[in-house]
Amino acid sequence: MTQFILNDQDISTDAPPGMTVLDFVRYQKDLKGTKIGCREGDCGACTLLVGELINGSVSYRSMTSCLMPLANAAGKHIVTIEGINPADGSLTPVQQAMVDNNGSQCGFCTVGFVMSLTGFCIDDTAKMPQLAVSAMDGNICRCTGYKSIERAAEEVCGRWNEGRDKFVPGYFSEIGGRLLRIKTDEGKSLPPENPVFVSGGTDIYVQKPDEMPGTSADYLFYSDELREIRDLGKTIEVGASATVTDLLLSPVMQSAFPKLYEHLKLVSSTPIRNMATIGGNLINASPIGDMTIWFLALDAEVVFGHGRHMPLRNLYLDYKKLAKTESEYIKAIRFPKPAADFRFNFEKVCKRTYLDIATVNTAISLIVEGTPGKDWTPPALTSGDQFSTHEAWLAAAFNEKGGPPTQQIEFTIKDCHLAAGGVAPTPLYLRETSIFLCGRTINKETIEEANVVMQAEISPISDVRGSEQYKRLLLRQLFRAHFFELFGLD
């Protein structure tokens, strides 16, 4: 029995847990406002909001219902367009802004846009127009043209301070208490009982759309036990069911990765990031999985449910062939906690910036030691400076007094982990190149020599995303981009 709240209605259903929420709301509840477009997470026509109790208040995220199993709705507030319509037949500010700015023509996509924008209005995101537009990055419109929809988003941002109650009906204020009273199976103890695992569903429901509704599976998505992101002192541990959005919002991850937002925004779209888990990305074993490449470059370790653990780089044997048994599920992934001398970068090239998988992606982590380069002249000593040796003065000038600009520091690589996707049958940890880089000074010669090693380590093939030659060139350029981003080396 799956229990949840659908709009203002308590639901207790024995419909198959593997059925999609889209089919449930349209065909079992006759709520036809939610549209069916691609059924692959690509168009956003089926977007709805999912509210979840977090630290005593309900937090809403947009999700694509075509890829969401009913089991993942357990204990949640599922909101369709019918659930935000004001009872008096008027329009919400989001709907009104779409009308006023001519944001709709045939209207097929409009519900999805309205749901995404409403989700943005009631979540904690800063109310800036560019973030409102980002919230709709999973929605595609084939006839209106995006400028009028963007104007609607800007207008909505201007009305945000009128309060959350303007954007959703009054019954939302009671949802927290109602969710507390719902009994769910989500706290059920692990280990799971079935050999098929489903987390966010964003991969498996695209691969097996007809099979999944009738398959017995273990649904790991909302297991609290698998979702935590923890600072363990020397390591950081990310639960397998943490989503890409969970990573983005995690203070632990934000402090470890200053460019977290910039990098993770390149992964799919807002609703997919809200569903896509780390465990699913790793097991999907796509040669271009973004989070897989990310964690390979951190030389992370996979922790399985029964306690076995192994370096992530040893998990991938061949195309979609993994060094794990069918019944083993991933519990968490762990990596060394970044220190001050740590540098990390992620690069991805795809045919369009958002909502696209990579042609080639790559990530690098480095531990470096910096010393002033030979071209740098230390600042003159001032009368207050008391240093017994020239070295002490140099160290102080370098570490505390601003030191030379990055370009004038000589960096030596103490440790390096490099990974790349789209250049082999598996997500690739570039072992030889990583070893080659250790102990070397960062300069143009090192990068060029490392590229020779890297080119020998990869085996891209020509396919719809590009020729072998193009992918080789792309990886070379992205490899150089790491050093430009981190050290200003062009």
Q: Which does 283 bind (CB under 5 to 8 A by kind): ligand FAD, ligand FES, none?
A: ligand FAD
Q: Which does 277 bind (CB under 5 to 8 A by kind): ligand FAD, ligand FES, none?
A: ligand FAD
We find the least distance from the C-beta atom of residue 160 to ligand FES, in angstroms, to be: 24
We find the least distance from the C-beta atom of residue 11 to ligand FAD, in angstroms, to be: 22
> Are the C-beta atoms of residues 24 and 96 closer than 8 Å to each other?
no
Residues 6 or more apart in contact with residue 366 via CB below 8 angstroms: 342, 343, 344, 413, 414, 415, 416, 437, 486
Q: Half-sphere exposure of 468 toward its Cβ, with a 13 Å CA cutoff? A: 8
Sign for the pseudo-dihedral over CA of 256, 262, 268, 270: positive
Q: What is the DSSP letter of 243?
A: B
Residue number, nearest CB to ligand FAD: 280
Q: Which does 109 bind (CB under 5 to 8 A by kind): ligand FES, ligand FAD, none?
A: ligand FES
Secondary structure percentages of the chain, helix, strand, coil, to 5: 35, 20, 40
We find the least distance from the C-beta atom of residue 118 to ligand FES, in angstroms, to be: 17
We find the least distance from the C-beta atom of residue 212 to ligand FES, in angstroms, to be: 14
We find the least distance from the C-beta atom of residue 203 to ligand FAD, in angstroms, to be: 3
Q: Which does 168 bind (CB under 5 to 8 A by kind): ligand FES, ligand FAD, none?
A: none
We find the least distance from the C-beta atom of residue 43 to ligand FES, in angstroms, to be: 3
Residue whose CB is less far from ligand FAD, 192 or 372 = 192
CA distances from 411 to 31, 64, 483, 490 (A): 60, 45, 11, 15
Q: Which does 43 bind (CB under 5 to 8 A by kind): ligand FAD, ligand FES, none?
A: ligand FES
> Are the C-beta atoms of residues 58 and 75 closer than 8 Å to each other?
no
Q: Which does 23 bind (CB under 5 to 8 A by kind): ligand FES, ligand FAD, none?
A: none
Q: What is the DSSP letter of 248?
A: H
Residue whose CB is less far from ligand FAD, 147 or 321 = 321
Residue whose CB is less far from ligand FAD, 122 or 278 = 278
Strand order in the sheet with 309-311: 229-231, 235-239, 330-336, 301-304, 309-311
Which residues contact ligand FES by CB under 6 A? Answer: 36-39, 41-46, 64, 66, 104-110, 141-144
Measured CA to CA, the distance from residue 348 to residue 293 in angstroms comes to 10
Pairing of strands 77-79, 2-6: parallel
Which residues contact ligand FAD by CB under 6 A? Answer: 40-42, 196-204, 206, 220, 240, 267-268, 272, 275-277, 279-281, 283-284, 289-291, 329-330, 355, 357
We find the least distance from the C-beta atom of residue 259 to ligand FAD, in angstroms, to be: 17
Q: Which does 37 bind (CB under 5 to 8 A by kind): ligand FES, ligand FAD, none?
A: ligand FES
Residue whose CB is less far from ligand FAD, 37 or 279 = 279
Measured CA to CA, the distance from residue 23 to residue 31 in angstroms comes to 10
